[in-house]
Structure 1
Amino acid sequence: MNVIDACWRTNPNWRSHRHQLATCSVGYTGKMTNNIGRDVTNYLVTDPSDDPLNPRPGTLRHAMTNVKGKVWVTFARDMNIKLAKPLLISSFSTIDGRGVNVHIAYGACLFLQRVTNVIIHGIRIHHCVAQGPGPVMGPDRRIVQLGPVDADAIRMMTSSKIWIDHNTLSDCPDGLIDVTRGSTEITISNNRFKFQDKVMLLGHDDGFRRDKDMRVTVVFNHFGPHCQQRMPRIRFGYAHVVNNLYLGWGQYALGGSMNPSIKSQANLFIASHGGNKEITWDSSLNGNFKSIHDVFENGASFRESVDSGAAMRPNYRPDQMFGVADGRTVRSLTNSAGALTCPRTSRC
């Protein structure tokens, strides 16, 4: 197992110690221990319905709007949730789909706006639908007037300390994960991305210079099959892309503009037969792309734009640090990427 999974999956009694998960994150989020403690509310979702203005008790939206302070959300059974409007996630919340099969699909999806300390784990998010403007209840029962929202699976705006782990994301008309408008301290780990054109966007647009302070760790993810580009694409900020599996790509795998920095470390890049072999794309030709100990198969090639890795260090704090595994072990490290199936009678 990779270092995140080894922290909790080796515990056969993880169901009785769900909050242990918050101690297992690595990378720029650091440890998510602000999400646990004596003051956390454990909330069980029993109802898959959704009312964006008057959420019913037992629904996922009710947990995000009516519970004050820290909330740890679990699900009573397998369920398919079709959101009528984007779900505004509250700060200090954990959505924990382990042990059941939860789909958020064929409606609106997840929106993190000016929040902090959020964990999203073990959810299958796909076939999201773009939304027109309109009111929706947000955290603390505030009515928020949202503008049009693109069909992203998970969209972050001006948010920090967010951990996206062990989700399966696919088939959305826009993107799967957007990190924009000054969002930072993000770790995206152990996810499965598939059947998608634009996968992950880090940075709002070429004019939003606040994203120069963005820091994102992308680790232990499985990209593919049939992912075309943005794994990730980054503007201005810094991404540490490490120990991920790339199962082919279309236009490119790693891209950027506006002088971004991408440290690609010990990833496994498997180019498709007869497809594009070049991994990188830089629209402005001024990015910093560095490959360290990556593994290349089927003719995959990486165009570096910096000579020294010294300036590309992630500069992690002690609570963010983790050991980087040999790129030749990435197949096994990412073998369980995506939402897990957890038998009731054994370890997850």
Structure 2
Amino acid sequence: MVSQGTNFIIWRFVLAIVIVIFFTPKLSSAKQSKLMGMKMNTIDSCWRIIDSCWRPNPEWRRHRQQLATCSVGYVGKMTNNIGNDLIHYKVTDPNDDPTNPKPGTLRYGASVIQSKVWITFEKDMNIQLMKPLLISSFTTIDGRGVNVHIANNACLMISKATDIIIHSIRIHHCKAQAPGMVMGPNGKVIHIGPVDGDAIRLVTASKIWIDHNTIYECEDGLLDVTRGSTNVTISNNWFREQDKVMLLGHDDGYVRDKNMKVTVVYNHFGPNCNQRMPRIRYGYAHVANNLYFGWMQYAIGGSMRPSLKSEANLFIAPKVGSKEVTWRKIGNTSGDKWKFHSVRDAFENGAYFTVTKGGRVPKPNYRKEQGFKVVDVKFVRSLTRSAGALQCSRTSIYVKKKHRK
């Protein structure tokens, strides 16, 4: 029989280990990850030390804003979203009024407040938007710690806005909307035209970070970056159950999109995605360390001579359907003028990538604060294991429910 004194000593030892792991500031995020036996990508390892899903420290909410320093790619760092003038806003009411939003609702925080605002949620919520939610500049929508669904009607639009983070939200079953009046991103009621039913649509937006969301089954597409939008990073998302997934560039006639720059990294595509992962026009896309779990028509395609660097992605072709990763719309321009390059990608189940003949691989040309290391493709399954809105567990910060709606 173990004595009471022995039990006390054991518990003190366990407590000491917990304190060392969770509260010692000298431990880097990478060392923390090693101690926890987990391999994480550079974004997650940056903020995981204060992750709401596992740290037992009741003060963790005071450090949510560390997330803003962890973005990579063309969006750069989101430090414009934090500071002493930041407004902390909590959504307590899942209801929605498109033209007269009430305090406590998501629309009030995202559209009415004209300042740096960090939006969190009081509890699990299912939010049915009556009209598209137009998000103001310098807004963060942070769903960590709860399960938030925006679903079954209108969804999100970022129009003529900048410095926006959308993190850990489940967005699905978005529907087309007729023209109507809605609270605009400037805090004033405006008229908007019809929308097609995208989960997230960017229109003339810049410095947008879309991270760790689960997005699926929408009437049109899941994510559109259009009409001159640029400096966008799309990371750690789980895209599934969709025909048209991701559109980069408005249409073949919108030449302004030649300045578009988008980073697509650490995402999980599939199952049951058909095409556009992404489809790009004119601009430049760096697509790196993503997992492609099948497609029907193609994974990556485009028109109007876009530039694409596909780097260290894992492409798993479907058992039935096209094995080719790429697709090019052939019109009045020659496909050879396009720049589609594959570098260190891996291909399974017969997948193959048709590269542009000749020429040099286009480089992202990231600035120092945008750069990140693209790791070997053999780690992609691990790097994307946590893709999608975060699931919280007592034993692990990352629990990916592949069939959970």
Question: Matched residues in 1 for 2:214 and 2:220: separation?
Answer: 16
Q: Give the RMSD, CA atoms, in angstroms.
A: 1.3
Query: CA offset at residue 342 of structure 1?
Result: 2.6
Question: Matched residues in 2 for 1:341 and 1:309: separation?
Answer: 41
**Normalised by the size of structure 2, how large is the TM-score?**
0.84
The equivalent of 1:272 in structure 2 is 318
Is residue 202 from structure 1 mapped to residue 248 from structure 2 by the alignment?
yes
Is residue 333 from structure 1 mapped to residue 383 from structure 2 by the alignment?
yes
Is residue 9 from structure 1 mapped to residue 9 from structure 2 by the alignment?
no
The alignment-based identity, stated in percent, is: 66
The equivalent of 2:192 in structure 1 is 146
Question: Matched residues in 1 for 2:268 and 2:353: separation?
Answer: 19
Question: Matched residues in 2 for 1:342 and 1:37: separation?
Answer: 28
Is residue 303 from structure 1 mapped to residue 354 from structure 2 by the alignment?
yes
> Which residue among 156, 176, 183 is the counterpart of 1:137?
183
More strand by share: 1
> Which residue among 289, 312, 318 is the counterpart of 2:340?
289
Query: CA offset at residue 219 of structure 1?
Result: 0.1
Query: CA offset at residue 345 of structure 1?
Result: 8.4
Query: CA offset at residue 16 of structure 1?
Result: 2.9
Structure 1 gaps, min length 5:
none
Query: CA offset at residue 273 of structure 1?
Result: 1.4
> Which residue among 151, 156, 161 is the counterpart of 1:110?
156
Structure 2 gaps, min length 5:
1-39, 399-405
Is residue 235 from structure 1 mapped to residue 285 from structure 2 by the alignment?
no
> Which residue among 249, 257, 272 is the counterpart of 1:211?
257
Alignment coverage as a number of residue pairs:
347
Is residue 90 from structure 1 mapped to residue 136 from structure 2 by the alignment?
yes
**What is the CA deviation profile of residues 143-180 of structure 1, one whole-angstrom value per residue up to 9, with x for unaligned ones?**
11000011000000000000000000000010000000
More helix by share: 2
Partner AA of 1:44 in structure 2: K
Question: Matched residues in 1 for 2:208 and 2:279: separation?
Answer: 18
Partner AA of 2:102 in structure 1: R
Query: Is the CA contact 1:256–1:287 (under 8 Å) kept in the aligned structure 2?
Result: no
- Pick 1 or 2: higher relative contact order, CA cutoff 8 A, min separation 6: 1
Query: Is the CA contact 1:64–1:138 (under 8 Å) kept in the aligned structure 2?
Result: no
Is residue 172 from structure 1 mapped to residue 232 from structure 2 by the alignment?
no
Partner AA of 1:19 in structure 2: Q
Mean Cα displacement is larger for which, 279-288 or 188-197? 279-288
- Greater C-alpha radius of gyration: 2
Question: Matched residues in 1 for 2:174 and 2:166: separation?
Answer: 17
Residues 80 and 280 (structure 1 numbering): CA distance in 2 closer, same or farther, change over 3 Å?
Answer: same
**Normalised by the size of structure 1, how large is the TM-score?**
0.97
